[in-house]
Structure 1
Amino acid sequence: MAQGMFQDLGRVLEMVSRDKSIPKEYLVQAIESAFLTAARKKWGHLGELEAQYNDETGEIELFQFKTVVETITDDNIEMTIPEAHKLDPDAQVGDSLGVKMDPSMFGRIAAQTAKQVIIQKVREAERSIVYEEFKGRIGEIITGIVRRFERGDMVIDLGRTEAVIPRTEQVSSEHYRTGERIQGLFVRADREGRGPVLILSRRDPNFVRELFAVEVPEISEAIVEIRAVAREPGVRSKIAVYSRDHDVDPVGACVGIKGSRVQSVVGELKGEKIDIVNWDEDPARFVCNAIAPAEVSKVIIREHEKVMEVVVPDDQLSLAIGRRGQNVRLAALLTGWNIDVYSETKIEQVAKRARRVLVEIFGIEEGTALVLYSHSYRSFEDIAKSSVEDFLKVPGLGEEQLRLMHKNAMNAVKEGKSTNILIAKIIEQEDREAKQKAQEEALKKQELENMQEEKNEEEIKEAEEGVHDHK
């Protein structure tokens, strides 16, 4: 064995096992594997090798296995019967016997290779221990100290081990320095990687959920439940809450006295705005709650498309949509519904155009189109998608008429017609009519101005003539 490298190996094993909480048996296997790796690099041509730790001497013994033969053709991997009997009197031709190799044959390179493998195995053992200790805590908030930055990743000191907040799990608007306290949601454990085992996140929506669980006793007591979270990290979050106790207001519980609880969460999130709304099992009511702070006039559900059309007063449209669409986007994430927001004026315009297409396609009265539209058949595509049986349930219309409309709708789809294209043509026509009307009004205004100007000129002329006559 290379001198100086494994002196007092037994004592070293005991110390490492104690200090690193790594079972000695695992370390022994690691060292045996290390020596075997080193030996194969140097003597791979010698056939099968085996390394064994001798607990009495504290050394690793290497054995080369040779096959017992009558006549040797390769003395590297074969031995004669007399040689075999020196090791095992009962040895026979065909047996494989291990011959102990001289440890001094190990060179410096082999010893260094063994050392590196040992270090690797120790690290793997440490990772495995950390993994086993923390794997049951995924989803919890973990607190540590920012220790250093590595290629944008934040390495967090947890005391006995380290965690990392990858760049992709950081909030771009947040800035930390080494030595600062930081919290993160434990999202996964990376047992096989090279960096820290524990991966934390400050972007995950559940980070907001767990922060509220810490601040709101009613949540930890299972009285109040956060049913959904939607988040744009660093900017705004929406959470939907529900109370199992009718006497406990879930929103009030999360807000706290004078906003104390929600402000604690906002502080940890570095000023991220948080909307807390009531969860409701009724999807329409839930969407109305989620679109807050805007007031909702009406909700139109398109169940088969998983779409809700939310109608708001004209002066509430910007509030409902939010800056760059943020409010409606978060509301959609929170509820799981696609949400289209319309002003009261706009929705009537949209409905009028859709009904006009139905009138033109089917040759029906406006009143009939209104009945279809009010029952969520807003286009011939909607009618074509439905079964005849379902379509016949539309009240107030005859079966023969409904069957004919369903047939015509199917034909329109087969012919490649599109409601959107037809509406686009209607809009073009409306634009032309509006432009023509504007031109006519401008011309009329100009004519009135010209007439007024002529009248003024006549009045001035008459006034001047009156002055002349007086003189």
Structure 2
Amino acid sequence: MVKNLKKLIEQVAKEKNLPEWIVEGALKNAIALAVKKDRKLKEHLQVELLEEGIKVYIVKRNNSETVRFPLEISTEDVNRIAAYAAKEEFLKELEKAEEERGYLEFVEQEGEITVGIVRRVLENGDVLVDLGRVMGVLPKREQIPKESYRQGERIKALVLEVRKHRGRYEIILSRTHPKFLRKLLEAEVPEIKSGEIEIKAITREPGERAKVLVHAKDMKMDPVGVIVGLRGSRINPVSKELSGEKIDVIRWTENVEELIKKSLSPAPVTKVRLIPKDKRAEVAVPKEKLSLAIGKHGVNVKLANRITGWYIDVLSEEDFEKLSALR
């Protein structure tokens, strides 16, 4: 009986292009399930395929120790149940094993971009994405707010996490994570992937605006110009993928005043006053550029705060001078 099962394992492994240990595990699970049904057992069972025959054990946990007890079952019975399991339960268990392997392959892709097809939008707003052999989930919280998704639509996303939830694997996708923008930039700008340009920090308000702080190893290189490309040839495809998200690329500098000025791009900053003990900065911009510096719903200054690590008070030039006079 065991020899026949071993041959079955080898054959199925070859046909399905799966490792033999996965197929053997699926068969053992199928036999355990069949024994539980036949004997009406609730305990956890473990099956071993030995040269002398099939052995079944009841597995119990005492405190932190796991103990196995041989299940008293005749060779004839266990062979009969195993033969049934190989026919009736094995395919179901094999499908589960194949699916699990597909999910585990995505563990190695965490932090990378994947492409899939939208299969369904759930009532809670989560999106089910067909990734080939397995399904991924793009939760509502990981979606760019202004986007909507249609069945059959091709979609790019970051593989954020592969996790086990309620006994099943889930692939969690994201289009809002800063690393998604980082990977899109890497794909468009070879100098980032090669290490010639380093991305020091990214912050985003998904679908609205992002700021990317960059540094070139070669001081003669203009990292901002390289990333943006001729007439925006490199940055525009990234912005388009993010539903028009505006991307400010900022050259890193150790000079804090200069960094704060650049961080408020596209607004021109004329003066900066640092208050180091509070890690706060007051900046002056022309009155007509005040709303540009602050940004819609305060997005621009909020991102500037994050990318610099300083709290920035944006003032008109007139108010800046008045405040200076009071001091």
Q: Structure 1 pair 226/165, CA: closer, same or farther in 2 (3 Å)?
A: same
User: Is the contact made by 1:128 and 1:191 (CA closer than 8 Å) also made in structure 2?
Assistant: no
DSSP 3-state at the match of 1:325: helix
Alignment partners' CA distance in 2, 1:275 and 1:175: 25
Secondary structure of the 1:294 match is: coil
Q: Which residue of 2 aligns with 1:28?
A: 24
Distance 1:182 1:15, change over 3 A: farther
Which whole-Å CA distance do the structure 1 matches of 2:287 and 2:224 have between them? 28
The question of whether the paired residues in 1 share the 8 Å contact of 2:102 and 2:133 is answered with: no
TM-aligned CA deviation for residue 221 of structure 1? 2.3
Q: Taking structure 1 as reference, are residues 19 and 156 closer, same or farther at Cα in structure 2, changes over 3 Å only?
A: farther
Aligned pairs for 1:136-151 (under 5 A) are 136-151=108-123
Alpha-carbon RMSD across the aligned residues, in angstroms, is: 3.7
Structure 1 counterpart of 2:126, one-letter code: D
Q: Which blocks of at least 5 consecutive residues in structure 1 are unaligned?
A: 1-7, 65-95, 356-471
TM norm structure 1 = 0.56
Q: 1:117 to 1:150 in 2, by over 3 A?
A: farther
Distance in 1 of aligned mates of 2:256 and 2:152? 46
SS at match of 2:147: coil
5+ residue gaps, structure 2: 59-69
Against the structure 1 CA distance between its residues 105 and 194, is the aligned structure 2 distance closer, same or farther, given a 3 Å change threshold? Answer: closer
1:398 matched residue in structure 2: none
**Is the counterpart of residue 155 in structure 1 residue 151 in structure 2?**
no
2:314 and 2:17 mapped to 1: Cα distance?
Answer: 60
- Aligned-residue offset at 1:277: 2.0
Query: SS at 1:238's partner residue?
Result: strand
- Partner residue in 1 for 2:14: 18
- The residue number in structure 2 matching 1:329 is 302
CA distance in 2, matches of 1:103, 1:63: 15
Which one-letter code corresponds to 1:24 in the other structure?
Answer: E
Distance 1:246 1:25, change over 3 A: closer
Tell me if 1:103 matches 2:99.
no
Partner Cα separation in structure 1 for residue 276 and residue 204 of structure 2: 25
Distance 1:167 1:121, change over 3 A: farther
Cα deviations by residue, 1:130-183 (Å, 9 ceiling, x for unpaired): 42x333332222223323334433333333433332222111212232332221
Aligned to 1:302: 275
Deviations 1:43-100 (A, max 9, x none): 478x9987444789xx966689xxxxxxxxxxxxxxxxxxxxxxxxxxxxxxx99552
**CA 1:348 to 1:62, structure 2 compared with 1: closer, same or farther past 3 Å?**
closer
Query: How do 1:281-296 and structure 2 match up within 5 A?
Result: 281-296=254-269
The one-letter code of the counterpart of 1:103 is D
Relative to structure 1, the CA distance from residue 308 to residue 34 in structure 2 (aligned partners, 3 Å threshold; closer, same or farther) is same
Shift of 1:307: 1.4
1:267 aligns with 2:245: no
Which of the pair has more CA radius of gyration? 1
In the alignment, structure 1 residue 340 sits paired with structure 2 residue 313:
yes
Q: Which stretch of structure 1 is more off in the superposition, 249-258 or 342-351?
A: 342-351
Give the match for residue 241 of structure 1.
214
CA-CA distance at 1:242 after TM superposition: 1.7
Residue pair 2:126, 2:139 contacting (<8 A) in 1 also: yes
**Equivalent of residue 255 in structure 1, options 228, 232, 235:** 228
The code of the aligned residue for 2:28 comes to: E
CA distance in 1 between counterparts of 2:57 and 2:224 reads: 72
- Between Structure 1 and Structure 2, the one with more strand by share is 2
**Contact 1:238 1:275 (8 Å CA) reproduced:** yes
| 1:100 to 1:218, Cα distance in 2 relative to 1, 3 A | same
For residues 12-411 of structure 1, the aligned pairs below 5 Å read 13-40=9-36, 43=39, 51-53=47-49, 100=74, 102-103=76-77, 119=92, 123-124=96-97, 126-128=99-101, 130-131=103-104, 133-151=105-123, 152-191=125-164, 197-351=170-324, 355=327
The amino acid that maps onto 1:190 is R
CA contact 1:226–1:241 (8 Å) conserved in 2 = yes
Whichever residue aligns with residue 23 of structure 1, its letter is P
Q: Aligned pairs, how many?
A: 309
TM superposition shift of 1:254: 1.2
Equivalent AA in structure 2 for residue 290 of structure 1 = S
Q: What is the distance in 2 between the residues matched to 1:272 and 1:288? A: 21
TM-score of the superposition, structure 2-length normalised?
Answer: 0.78
Q: Distance in 2 between matches of 1:50 and 1:261?
A: 56
Report which of the two has the higher share of helix. Answer: 1
Q: State how far apart, in whole Å, the 1-side matches of 2:169 and 2:280 are.
A: 43
Report if the CA contact (8 A) 1:32-1:60 is conserved.
Answer: no
3-state SS of 2:144 partner: coil
Label 1:172 to 1:294 Cα distance change in 2 as closer, same or farther (>3 A).
closer
What CA distance in whole angstroms lies between the structure 2 residues aligned with 1:279 and 1:143? 32
Contact 2:202 2:307 in 1 (8 A): yes
SS of the aligned residue for 1:190 comes to strand
What amino acid is the match of 1:329? K
Q: Shift of the alpha carbon at 1:286?
A: 0.8
**Inter-CA distance 49–329: structure 2 relative to 1 (3 Å threshold):** closer
Counterparts of 1:198 and 1:104, CA distance in 2: 38
Distance 1:309 1:347 in 2: 8
| Percentage of matched positions with identical amino acids | 38
